[in-house]
Amino acid sequence: MKLSYKKTVLVGFAFFLICAFWQAYDSIIPKILTDKFGLTQSMSGLIMGLDNILALFMLPLFGAISDRTKTRYGKRTPYIFIGTVLAVVFFLLLGVSDLVQLKQLDEITMDNPTALQTLYDADLTVTTPDGETVEISKEFTKTEFTEIEKGSEDYAKYVTPARQMFARQKTLDNPKPFIFFMAILLLLLISMAIFRSPAVALMPDVTLKPLRSKANAIINLMGSVGGILVLVLGIVFGTGKLDNSLMSYLLFFACIALIMTAALVVFALTVREPKWSEEMLTESAQLGIETTDDKPENGDRKLQKGERTSLLLLLLSVILWFMGYNAVTSKYSVYAGSVLNLDFNMTLIIAQAAAIISYLPVGFIASKVGRKSCILFGIIIMGLSFFAASFLRMGTSMWVMTIFFALAGIGWATINVNSFPMVVELATGSNVGRYTGFYYTASMFAQTVTPYFSGLIMDRWGMRTLFPYGAIFVLLALLSMQGVRHGDNRPTAKQVVLDAFEVED
């Protein structure tokens, strides 16, 4: 029993393009909403949760629909192809809508020599990252304000919020660009929701049950590579620089769309879903392994009471760690500039790189000690890393930041590799898409509410509350995971030497 690395990597191109998109989305959309439309952190968080509101019903829906789809290309591939093509088109249009709003802000763009004077003359009252309300004209003279240097602490503390307040007034005066932006954003998110569950469900469709933790590690590795590629492009384009907050993102979005298209082409030309699914069923039958296409005479086997309890507690855990994790990821690009005066791309690359290094070892370790033990360890590592990151300030040593972000990446990788396989391990009958939907419904619920609630807290007490908020929710998942008794793998003795490198029950 051996995992086909080639097949898993090729299947992983679907997840690669999904993660490339979401990395760009989570990094740039909050900046557009706050920097160019002037939204508060809570309102920005509400919009950032929009994709998750859609996902609450669209992911289970398309997961279940794809379970019942039969085409010569398979039951998941058509959704991946159609959804990606639509997403690429709307992503490019989103860049156009961003450019339309930027035209309204010409007088305060970074290359305008009178930009700071315009901001001062607007007589603005701003809220600093510390939660302090300040009237610019009472805090500075015009000369003092216009001579604030780019990249300085005062620039992050006063100039950036002033630009956001000015953008808010412009948006209220002419909301048409914002309405255009939101309409395109809605269509884009619908397009992504069409194929997310089918793309994730494809891995279990073509992978033997005992090998899914290892396969999921490779899938997540592919996703991390997609995310890192986007972050590297972010460094090239300067998307994380504080003085580029009013840059045009059209060309950057075009590059992401090109990456997504290239990944789709590779996927379409190499993945043979019907053939690979049939091969998995045949091998499972030969080895006596239950598959997700095994159908009892009376339909799908109902979960027993203990299994239902484990499933509910596992989904609660998913909600809790996503409440903490997504709050950080959806706000960090803004936080990094406002609090740390730091290019968010570099620190996120550190976290992603640490995750990539961890994925395969975590998959192997899970086969030795079990998925649950790995998840508990990951919760502790990520929760403590978020807590420690609460004390980072502008000027903190980059080495210190590197350690904390690397540990956070390792913790997330350890959780992420093992949680989805634990959920689909409980799937019985031809319902892996449904259980994939359960997993994503839980995660999407958390990601729906947490950007808004974390935004409310930051609006009230300042942006420095972000990491404590994340740490609390992540560590709460320790309590719910203690009650999970099913869905874990059960390591057994290896029968042959070469099998020692595979994941077994």
pLDDT for the residue numbered 108: 85
Looking at residue 324, its pLDDT comes to: 95
Q: What is the mean pLDDT of residues 492-501?
A: 33
Higher pLDDT, residue 314 or 356: 314
Nearest C-alpha neighbor of 155 from the set 102, 106, 119, 105 = 119
pLDDT exceeds cutoff 60 at 174: yes
Report the CATH number that the domain containing residue 41 is assigned in CATH. 1.20.1250.20
pTM metric for this prediction: 0.79
Number of domains in the chain: 1
Residues contacting residue 106 through CB under 8 Å, at least 6 positions apart: 112
Residue 384 in any domain: the answer is: yes
Greater pLDDT, 339 or 92? 92
pLDDT for res 290:
62
| Triad 147, 148, 154: Cα angle to 5° | 160
Torsion of CA 332, 344, 185, 432, to 10 degrees: -70
| pLDDT attached to residue 428 | 61
Band (291; pLDDT cuts 50, 70, 90): low
Q: Write down the pLDDT at residue 375.
A: 93
Distance between CA atoms of residues 62 and 69, nearest Å: 10
pLDDT tens digits for 80-99?
999 999 999 999 999 999 99
Is 136 inside any structural domain? no
What is the distance between the alpha carbons of residues 371 and 488, in angstroms, rounded to a whole number? 5
How far, in Å, CA of 7 to CA of 90, rounded? 30
Q: Which residues contact 242 (CB under 8 A, 6 or more apart)?
A: 150, 151, 155, 156, 160, 337, 341
Residue 395 lies in a domain: yes
Identify whether 505 is part of a domain.
no
Dihedral of alpha carbons 289, 295, 299, 300, sign: positive
* Geometric angle at alpha carbon 475, from 469 and 481, rounded to 5°: 140
Assess if residue 448 is contained within a domain: yes
- Specify the pLDDT at position 266: 96
Segments forming the whole domain that contains residue 44: 7-104+176-286+305-489
Q: What is the mean pLDDT of the chain?
A: 85
Q: Rounded to whole angstroms, what are the CA distances from 192 to 22, 33, 308, 333?
A: 10, 20, 30, 22
Q: What are the tokens at 217?
A: 């590690």
Percent of the chain with pLDDT over 90: 38
Asked whether residue 189 is assigned to any structural domain, the reply reads yes
Quick one: tokens of 334?
């803004």
Which has more confidence, 399 or 270? 270
Beta bridge partners of 134: 126
Which tens digit of pLDDT belongs to each residue from 54-65?
Answer: 877 787 788 788
Distance CA 255, CA 245 (A): 19
pLDDT, tens only, 24-47: 998 999 999 999 999 988 899 889
Q: Confidence class of residue 191 from pLDDT cuts 50, 70 and 90?
A: very high
For residue 317, being part of any structural domain is answered with: yes
What pLDDT shows up at residue 397? 76
pLDDT tens track for 358-396: 877 887 888 788 889 999 999 999 999 999 998 888 777
Segments in 207-304 forming alpha helices (H): 212-237, 250-270, 273-287
Mean pLDDT for 159-168 is 91
- pLDDT at site 298: 45
Per-residue model confidence (pLDDT) at position 335: 87
Stretch 427-456: mean pLDDT: 80
Task: Confirm whether 495 is domain-assigned.
Answer: no
